[in-house]
Structure 1
Amino acid sequence: EAPYHSIIGVNEHAGTLHYQFYDTQAPERPRSLLIDAGVRFRGYCSDITRTTPAPDERRFSALVQGLEQLQNRLCEMVAPGVEYAAIHRKTHQGIAALLSAAGLVSGLDDEALVEQGVTRAFFPHGIGHFLGIQVHDVAGKLEPSPADAPFLRLTRTLEEGMVVTIEPGLYIISSLLDPVLNGPLGKHFDHEVIDDLRGCGGIRIEDNVVVTSDGARNLTREMSG
């Protein structure tokens, strides 16, 4: 049983965070595929996302590889006593480094990219949420989301037994990105590269991780080998 309607986005639709309005005809040039899906087992939910680039999409493929490397590092941060918001903030630092390494942005250091809100234009949602009987399980926000992470669904310090998702993303969402591109910081962007990437939509990579007594187990990677 699926705990939610699967999100399947091809090309630019991968940039819509909860895309549900499916086309009835395949695109002439498939460039990217994002699948966000899960199953329910013994009453508990899973919530997994993978993004696959087309074989000839070298630039987009490099971004997918870079984001997966970041995602692996973020999963390794999960441990008892760790503030979940700290993992979210580390994500923005990693997105900033990836934007610079990929040549999408130049002339701004990583700290400035975060402080000026550039990374939020590419990564607008929180790093994840509680996972359990519900996909977005309850009791994640005993305190309000911090000002620098208004959409974060989980603001607690991690404890043994908690199960969370770790799902960084990097998207080309015109309504968020165009104001930055057309503003004072626009000169720091490679507009040609970004315009080309619009046709790929975006990237999200999501695993389900359980907090153990001394660290964490990545349930998704364990099952996928």
Structure 2
Amino acid sequence: MFAGELFGRGREEPAPGVVLVPGWLGAAEQRELVAECREWARPPAGMRTVTLPTGGVMSVRTVCLGWHWYPYGYARTVLDGDGAPVKAFPPRLGELARRAVAEAYGDGVGEIAGAAGFAPDVALVNHYPHGAKMGLHKDRDERVDAPVVSLSLGDSCVFRLGNTETRTRPWTDLELRSGDLLVFGGPMRFAYHGVVRTLPGTADPDLGLVGRLNITVRQSGLE
């Protein structure tokens, strides 16, 4: 709870199929994940800067697990980096993501496409240094419509949840803090979304993290 807040934040469902669970990860689990992200970020197949086909360079840095994401597809090697084989998808992340989907949808898990049999096999770990952001985009390189699980660590951010048709309004801005869980699936699985800005200095100093880490876990649908 931040200073000035009388009550803790409650669970939100800002759109059909979208669930925000504040503080889902405890402090110890957050520290463990930050330590693991540091290991995943090491070369080979480590964290790299992504260049888009337009020539633009993303302000976040990314490391992939299970499958290597590049604009706009998946591969088994870091073909837009050092060419090394992608790091394995950690079973721990799979268990965490399945628990997240169960937490988000509860008894309604069978009503969300791909949620009941969720079998995640890919993760993107994005580091947002101060000043970094991510434009509105869709996660549409997967071959199934299973939900996306997003975990936040470090600095808070303003996350923009758009609509499924255009990058323009309507949209909803959500504040995501360290430890928060966001799951989106069902009718909003292919909604535009992005990060408008991070809020520097909002991370718990005990994390030892500068900026924000976002772990996004997905099911690729690939063989």
Q: TM-score range by the shorter chain?
A: under 0.3
TM-score by length of 2: 0.26
Q: Which has the larger radius of gyration?
A: 1
TM-score (norm 1): 0.26
Higher strand share: 2
Structure holding more helix per residue: 1
